[in-house]
Every structure is written in structure tokens, then in C-alpha cells.
Amino acid sequence: MSRPEDPDRTAPPGHHPAPATDRENPGHHPAPASRAVELRHLRAFLAVAEEGNVTRAAAHLGLTQPAVSRTLAALERHLGLRLVDRSTHHLALTPEGVAFRDKAAAAVAAFDEALDTGRLRHWPLRLGHAWSAFGPYTTPLLRAWRERHPATPLELLRIDDRTAGLTRGEVDAALLRGPVHAPGLVTEVLFTEGRVAAVTADGPLGSRTSLRLADLVDGPVVLNTVSGITTPELWPPDARPAATLTVANTDDWLAAIAAGRGSGVSAASTAAIHPHPGVAYVPLDDAPGVPVLLAHRDGPGHPALPKLAALAREIVARG
């Protein structure tokens, strides 16, 4: 009579079958003790997250589709998390995948930066902003920095993202407006800006010398998701705009207002930094101010960050 084969005796050397509990629960991904995550795992995940499709991600990376699929699956097994929802043709990140994306992007950016020999000689300080930089203090800040710290270039980068690329490691610090709830950031309020209404220049509100929030509620209000400082909650609950139009960046926001599709609300510095012939900026009498923040990631960062914060405070204090 033959006996069932002992899987431990018949398995090839080095093979260790999964415990019964894991075979019975295929959704569980235990982290292997002997395999570390490598940079290629993070790059593959980020490519899939960006493309929303494994085939396109493989083409972007110069790999085969099966190779990318295996690499992504190995990363998920190591983390013990499902990062990508594969239930539809267009892949979508799970909530865990969304949270992991910024961490993976920051890690890859830090690695690439460490190997950039040009930056080792002149390590620039990258200062991000999403749409309005440092308001009226932008030029004084850049000039003063160049005079005092010529060996450390200050790069001002516009990145259409709520944290101006800070959470993804694309910048060392960022000038942000309004409350920012991204984890792992340290913020300091530098000053507070007033708000203005942005209305169609040749429309009925374009010739007014001042406006109130109630003047904007009858027509659509254009909301810029990148800036994040204007939401329907800016108005009282019983007097909110009749309709809203959402856009993804400042350029589309201006174009929609100039075309008469609605009005907008922004910080006062927008009028100087983003003039548009079809848009009139009118002071808002009853809107709360917008805090302007200097933010950086919690933990070790660029060694010149304390100097940047000190100079920003000095520029604001001088007015």
C-alpha cells in the first residue's frame, strides 16, 4: 500500500511550503523573513500607481508585464497588505496603497538624490509651492538668500499638488496655504493673507470695489483642488453656493472664471502673481484670512532648512 508523500521530504532543497493557515487564506500575505524590499519593488509599484495599468507600467519601466506583476505581488507579500485593487481593468490603489504611495515616492526620490553627484557638489534647497509662492515676499526672499547663501542655490518649484511635492520627496520645504493634514509634516505659520474674489472682468461683479461672500452664491463657484483653501464650508451652512465647478490647477481655475463659468475665492497675493485679462480680483470684506505656512518633513532634512525658516521670518517682520 502506498503512503501519501511527505511534502517536506519530496520538496526540492530550499523549498518551504506555506503553512496550512496561509494556504487556506490566500488573501493573507505574510512578510517573508529572508527577502528585503529593493528599490525595484518601489519603482514598479509607483509606475503601476501612475499608469493605472500593469502593461503601461511595464512599458514605462522597460520590463515585461509578468515581471512587473511578480514584483508588485512580492512587495505586497512583504508588507502583508493589498496595495492595488485588481478587480477592474483599470487598476486602482487601495486605501493602504494610497497611504504607501507617498512614502515610496519619498524613498525613491531620496535614493536618486543621494546618487546625484552634481547635487553633492552644490546641494540646492528645493522650495515648493502650489500656486502663489511666498506672496509679496517671494522676490525679497530669493534675493536675500542669494546674497547670504550663494553656495546653496534656492530652487523655487511650482508643483500642482496640495503639499507642493513635499510628501513625495520632490522638495525639501514648501510654502503652503490653509490647513494641511498630511501626516509627517512640520508646519510654521509665517503670516496671514486676506482673501479676494476672482470674478469675470466684464461681468456684473467685475467693477465693484469690494464684495461679500453672499455676492458669489447665486452663480457657480470654481473650486481649485490643488489650493484647497476654498470649499463650500467657507460659507455659512444656510447660505452656500448654488453650484460648484471643480478644477485641478490654477490655470484651469483662471480660464473657467475668465470664460464666465463661475467666480472664485483666493488669497490676495494671487492677484499679483496670477494676473489675467479676463479676471478681476476684488477684495472680500467678510472672508477669514488664509494662513501661509512653511512646511518640511519631520525628521532629518536639508541642513539649510533652519536658515530658510529664519530668513522667511525676517522678511515677513520687515514687511
pLDDT one-digit tens code per residue, 254-310: 999 999 999 999 999 999 999 999 999 999 999 999 999 999 988 878 989 999 999
Q: Kindly give, in sequence order, each residue whose CB lies less than 8 Å from that of residue 33, ignoring residues fewer than 6 positions away.
A: none
Q: Which residue has the higher pLDDT, 312 or 91?
A: 312
For residue 198, how many C-alpha atoms fall within 13 Å in the half-sphere facing its CB?
A: 30
C-alpha cell at 140: 525679497
Strands 154-158, 125-129: pairing is: parallel
Secondary element (H or E) of residue 185: strand 185-193
Q: Which of 135, 146, 142, 145 is nearest to 176 (CA)?
A: 135
* CATH node for 20-114: 1.10.10.10
What is the pTM assigned to this prediction?
A: 0.63
C-alpha count within 13 angstroms, C-beta hemisphere, residue 150? 1
Element (H, E) at 149: none
pLDDT reported for residue 179: 85
| % of the chain residues with pLDDT over 90 | 49
Cα 302 to Cα 122: distance, rounded to the nearest angstrom? 12
User: What are the backbone dihedrals phi and psi of residue 307, each rounded to the nearest 5 degrees, phi first?
Assistant: -65, -40
Residue extent(s) of CATH 3.40.190.10 domains in the chain: 117-192+291-318, 195-288
How confident is the model at residue 29, as a pLDDT?
45
In sequence order, the 6+-apart residues with CB closer than 8 A to the CB of 123 are: 152, 302
156-202 pLDDT, tens digit per residue, is 999 988 899 998 888 999 999 988 888 889 999 999 999 999 999 99
Q: Under CATH, to which class is 195-288 assigned?
A: alpha beta
**Distance separating alpha carbons of residues 114 and 166, to the nearest angstrom:** 17
Residues of the chain with CATH 1.10.10.10: 20-114
The dihedral through the CA atoms of 257, 261, 263, 264 has a sign that is negative
Report the CATH fold assignment for 117-192+291-318.
Answer: D-Maltodextrin-Binding Protein; domain 2 (3.40.190)
* 157 and 168 Cβ atoms separated by less than 8 Å: no
pLDDT at 114: 65
Question: In this structure, how many other beta carbons lie within 10 angstroms of the beta carbon of residue 11?
Answer: 12
Q: Residue 18: what pLDDT?
A: 38
What integer pLDDT is reported at residue 128 of this predicted model? 95
pLDDT per residue over 16-62, tens digit each? 333 333 333 444 444 443 458 888 888 888 888 888 888 888 888 88
Q: Which of 27, 28, 57, 15 is nearest to 40 (CA)?
A: 57
Query: Are the beta carbons of 253 and 224 closer than 8 angstroms?
Result: yes
| Residue 298 dihedral angles phi and psi, to the nearest 5° | -70, 130
The predicted-structure confidence for 75-119, as pLDDT tens digits, reads as follows 888 888 999 988 766 788 888 888 888 788 877 777 776 666 555
